[in-house]
């Protein structure tokens, strides 16, 4: 996918580059004592991770990053996100996509917003601060 200048804000792991996403999925979490179950929208990245030890061996799996969690099943969220990525694909887009859960009080509804970076000419030395993006 050709989106090297588009970034996706994850739920708790910062920004991931859109052209590293190879799959989009939703799944429920288990209900735990004192905590109700919720739904996750995940992006699968084109890298693998491993864990293990000498006695149990080594397990390798795809790296998943949660984009948003919702109280209800986010029906159509994976399709909507794929549609946004496809719409940005043939442009010279540069910016950040973020998922917004429960807009207008509708459980399970997810909205995707693309915020382009400011279009300014980049000098040879560039400085930016987090305050510029707050």
Position 127 scores a pLDDT of 46
Q: Is 0.75 topped by the overall pTM?
A: yes
Residue 99 to residue 114: CA distance in whole angstroms: 9
Nearest to 5 by CA among 14, 15, 99, 57: 15
- C-alpha dist (Å) from residue 73 to 17, 104, 109, 128: 25, 16, 8, 38
> What does pLDDT average to in each consecutive run of 10 residues of the chain (134 residues)?
89 94 94 88 89 76 91 91 91 91 82 84 50 55
Position 132 scores a pLDDT of 59
What are the structure tokens assigned to 19, written together? 């052209």
Residue 70 to residue 37: CA distance in whole angstroms: 9
């Amino acid at each position: 996918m050709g989106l090297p200048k588009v970034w996706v804000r994850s739920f708790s792991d910062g920004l991931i580059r859109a052209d590293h996403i190879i799959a989009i999925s939703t799944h429920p979490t288990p209900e735990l004592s004192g905590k109700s179950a919720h739904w996750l929208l995940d992006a699968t990245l084109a890298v693998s991770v491993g864990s293990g030890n000498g006695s149990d061996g080594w397990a390798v799996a795809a790296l998943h990053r949660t984009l948003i969690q919702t109280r209800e099943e986010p029906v159509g969220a994976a399709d909507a996100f794929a549609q946004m990525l496809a719409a940005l694909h043939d442009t010279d887009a540069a910016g950040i996509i973020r998922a917004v859960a429960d807009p207008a009080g509708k459980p399970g509804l997810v909205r995707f917003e693309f915020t382009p970076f400011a279009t300014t000419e980049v000098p040879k030395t560039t400085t930016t601060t987090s305050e510029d993006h707050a």
